Structure 1
Amino acid sequence: MTREEVDKQDFQVLIEKYLDGKTTLEELKLLVNYYESYQQDYTWCAALGSEESTRNRMLINILEELQNNVGDANKVIPFYKNKIVKYAVAASLIAFLSVTFLFKNNNGNKVNDNEVVQTNGTTIAVGTDKAILTLEDGSQVALEKGKSFQKETTVSNGEVITYKKGELKAEEIKYNYLTIPRGGQFSITLSDGTKVWLNSDSELKYPVQFIKGQPRKVELLYGEAYFDVSPSASHNGDKFIVLNASQEVEVIGTEFNVKAYKDETNIYTTLVEGKVTISMDDKKRNLVPGEQLFLNKKNSTILIKKVDVYNETAWKEGVFSFEDKSLKDMMVVLSRWYDVEVIIENKSIENEQFVGILRKNQKIEEILTSIKNFGIIKNFEIYDKKVVLK
């Protein structure tokens, strides 16, 4: 590995620590030095994209921390609490880091440059905005990026579907379904102003309009969704409730993520802001921001723990952020986004642990090549919507 490659790896490690709020004063100084060095690197600078204001804000923030924390070189500098700034900084950094993988327990295998990746002419498409909308009469509409749709109180620009505000009587309530296929994503603004982001292989059932004086109920039939709920105070105190087969999440007004895939045993509910109460059979649990409730559907085991909220919700910002995830778990996520089947031939590498960030708009070949270059896999093959790791 060249000196330049070592420096860039160190730079990536510092960025990870910065986003996690774990850098010391001395490390921040080093981060600024790296940043300035790579500004002179045409390739890296061009890859930074056009968001110069975001990059400059990031640098200014770091410099302000250096100025305000003089004297204690080992003092840990926390990251900015504003999650919007964190997303913006992360997106800016990811834009030029491309794929950042920090594998643990790397066996140090060298890549054989003579090995050729076999694709058999198969092209794996990157996931995109698409969904199937099932209307109250049972008819279905394909929603796709670049195509618009409009019907009475419903309108879509191909990336988000929005329902206009209105009130119904109990006997008039009508439900729509939004189904996100593998390889898709979509977002929806419900008639009460609540925003929902849906990940690949997910389905949401919801009323076209809510009934005044009754709880605002939606059902995540399966998959993953991020909710930014319109507060109850704006709706005469009407609660917002998210149902799924194994639990009920009662909301006053908050942001949270629910991951409940059909092919996974566990359900994960992560609270970003506000307060939620989760009911499971005869049990109830409250969450505070930064906590995640783990529910095992088979044996009803419940566990609440602190998590890095960014890692759990970055998917809705166009980013996959992994922390101490196994290669096997990562491939489950990628298989949904790229709509492929992943086969790991060498079972001994399934549990390789790593920290990594990648952009969702990358080709899967780029990601797999990066993993290969780290020596985790010897090679990979793509054919008939299957990815084989060797």
Structure 2
Amino acid sequence: MISAKIENIIAKFLTNQASASELSELEIWIQDSNNKELFNLYVKINYAIEYNMKEFDSNKIKSKLSEAFAKEKKEIKLKKLRKIIYYSAAAVVLGIVTTTYFYRTSLVDKSIATPVKIVNNTIKAGTDKAILTLEDGSVVALEKDKTYEKDNVTSNGKELVYDNNNAKSGLAYNYLTIPRGGQFQVKLADGTKVWLNSESKLKFPVAFVEGQPREVELIYGEAFFDVSPSTEHKGAKFKVLNKNQEVEVLGTEFNIKAYKDEDKIYTTLVEGKVTVSGFSSKKYITPNQQSIINLKNGNITINPIDAYNEVLWTKGIFSFKSKTLKEIMTVMSRWYDVEVVFRNTELEKVKFNGVLSKNDNIKEILSIIKKTNFINEYEIKDQKIIIR
């Protein structure tokens, strides 16, 4: 049971009215795993309907938090409070709403809607898995709950950890490939942590050479980097290379999305400062900014963005803000390893806002979207989704 006091704090938090002291109390309470489950269940039951009609705006929440801190003259680091925002985002899975008036017009004829058709639904959410290619060309399948150990690298089935002290002499490279329906983490020999999303591939040295730039290559896909500061490596800078871009940092947190089937590269900065170079151009970006390289013309643009919203995928949450159904289904297709076909191409343009857990059943997600009445019908057959 949730006490009346905690219930009141949760309600105030979701309506952006909680004080700093109340937020601290809520954070301590949520740290208990049983309480976390109660929190998620409570929000789903009591706030799902309301959040179906509203945007989940983390910027607004952070603004309200700042106001509360100023009033009470109490410093609480934003990092410490991210946990609460992550939990609330996971809880309001049903918070998917349309945005513009155009998309509220009838794109489908509700009178001819047909029942959902599901044949051999074998679609499962992604999990921890990857393929490690060693310097000698041999490959190792890494899987959830499966351990691996060799030379200076170990894995617990979720993360690879490299030890620079036990590395062999000479520069050697490994490759970590994340298939569709997979995710994995790697801690490089310099202490840098990397989260890799589905359908991604990273090339990195088994050990770094002291005094030389630390370079890795995101061959394709999406990765979040928490870089070990250069001050701990005699000033050695850290670079992330891609065939169309180079990102240089001293020590920071940032996200790069560079998928093979997309014509743009997105670099989002959470903390620190980085330079982005590509097509003879060089740009600096600061926290809560995103650089976009257009691969068709080489232009680099810088836009303001809610950085934490962009990297929630590393916490098990997909967050969509004014994304088209096509963009959402592209993300879903990678994570659930499915093919998505739109019979009505106009549906690709419909925009949604919302968050959902990466553990959700794909059928539940499609059912929620269908309830908006934009989708007339969807069909699941083996690893294929047809949207009408």
Q: TM-score, normalised by structure 1?
A: 0.79
Pair 1:266–1:152, CA change in 2 (3 A): same
1:297, CA displacement in angstroms? Answer: 1.1
Equivalent residue number for residue 133 of structure 1: 132
Equivalent residue number for residue 324 of structure 1: 322
Counterparts of residues 1-390 of structure 1 (less than 5 Å) = 15=14, 46=38, 48=40, 82-86=78-82, 88-104=83-99, 105-107=103-105, 115-166=114-165, 172-390=170-388
Pair 1:247–1:364, CA change in 2 (3 A): same
Q: Structure 1, residues 204-256: CA drift from partner, whole Å, max 9, x if none?
A: 00000000111000000000000000000100001100000101111111010
Q: Structure 1, residues 147-200: CA drift from partner, whole Å, max 9, x if none?
A: 11011110000000100123879x711100000000000010000000000000
| One-letter amino acid matched to 1:244 | N
- Work out whether residues 168 and 212 of structure 1, in 8 Å CA contact, stay in contact via their aligned partners in 2: no
Runs of 4+ in 1 over 6 A off after TM superposition: 61-68, 108-114
Equivalent residue number for residue 38 of structure 1: none
| One-letter amino acid matched to 2:81 | V
| One-letter amino acid matched to 1:282 | S
Whole-Å separation in 2 of the counterparts to 1:287 and 1:213 = 26
RMSD: 3.2
Pair 1:62–1:247, CA change in 2 (3 A): closer
Whole-Å separation in 1 of the counterparts to 2:117 and 2:177 = 33
Whole-Å separation in 2 of the counterparts to 1:288 and 1:369 = 39
Structure 1 gap segments, 5+ residues each: 1-10, 36-43, 52-58, 71-79
Pair 1:207–1:376, CA change in 2 (3 A): same
Q: Structure 1, residues 309-359: CA drift from partner, whole Å, max 9, x if none?
A: 122111111101111111111111111000111111111221111211111
- Work out whether residues 47 and 95 of structure 1, in 8 Å CA contact, stay in contact via their aligned partners in 2: no
1:47, CA displacement in angstroms? Answer: 6.5
Whole-Å separation in 1 of the counterparts to 2:295 and 2:213 = 25
Whole-Å separation in 2 of the counterparts to 1:297 and 1:84 = 37
1:63, CA displacement in angstroms? Answer: 10
Question: Does the residue aligned with 1:100 lie in a helix, a strand or coil?
Answer: coil
1:48, CA displacement in angstroms? Answer: 2.0
Question: Does the residue aligned with 2:363 lie in a helix, a strand or coil?
Answer: helix
| One-letter amino acid matched to 1:250 | E
- Work out whether residues 199 and 224 of structure 1, in 8 Å CA contact, stay in contact via their aligned partners in 2: yes
- Work out whether residues 148 and 155 of structure 1, in 8 Å CA contact, stay in contact via their aligned partners in 2: yes
| One-letter amino acid matched to 1:100 | G
Whole-Å separation in 1 of the counterparts to 2:301 and 2:209 = 34
Identity %: 47
| One-letter amino acid matched to 1:89 | I
- Work out whether residues 166 and 210 of structure 1, in 8 Å CA contact, stay in contact via their aligned partners in 2: no
Equivalent residue number for residue 8 of structure 1: none
Whole-Å separation in 2 of the counterparts to 1:324 and 1:64 = 25
Pair 1:45–1:129, CA change in 2 (3 A): closer
Pair 1:375–1:243, CA change in 2 (3 A): same
| One-letter amino acid matched to 2:310 | E
1:97, CA displacement in angstroms? Answer: 2.5
1:99, CA displacement in angstroms? Answer: 2.8
Q: TM-score, normalised by structure 2?
A: 0.79
Pair 1:176–1:347, CA change in 2 (3 A): same
1:374, CA displacement in angstroms? Answer: 1.3
Q: Structure 1, residues 72-124: CA drift from partner, whole Å, max 9, x if none?
A: xxxxxxxx8614422x1233224432332011233477977984322211210
Pair 1:69–1:374, CA change in 2 (3 A): farther
Pair 1:147–1:350, CA change in 2 (3 A): same
Whole-Å separation in 1 of the counterparts to 2:194 and 2:335 = 18
Q: For structure 1, which segment, 130-139 or 349-358, has the greater mean C-alpha deviation from structure 2 after superposition?
A: 349-358
Count of aligned pairs: 339
Whole-Å separation in 1 of the counterparts to 2:226 and 2:109 = 46
Q: Structure 1, residues 264-318: CA drift from partner, whole Å, max 9, x if none?
A: 0000011111111112142211111111110011210110111111221111111
Whole-Å separation in 2 of the counterparts to 1:209 and 1:68 = 45
Whole-Å separation in 2 of the counterparts to 1:167 and 1:149 = 16
Whole-Å separation in 2 of the counterparts to 1:191 and 1:336 = 29
- Work out whether residues 111 and 373 of structure 1, in 8 Å CA contact, stay in contact via their aligned partners in 2: no
Q: For structure 1, which segment, 324-333 or 343-352, has the greater mean C-alpha deviation from structure 2 after superposition?
A: 343-352
| One-letter amino acid matched to 1:147 | K
- Work out whether residues 256 and 272 of structure 1, in 8 Å CA contact, stay in contact via their aligned partners in 2: yes
Q: Structure 1, residues 49-89: CA drift from partner, whole Å, max 9, x if none?
A: 699xxxxxxx9x9899679769xxxxxxxxx8614422x12
Whole-Å separation in 2 of the counterparts to 1:133 and 1:47 = 38
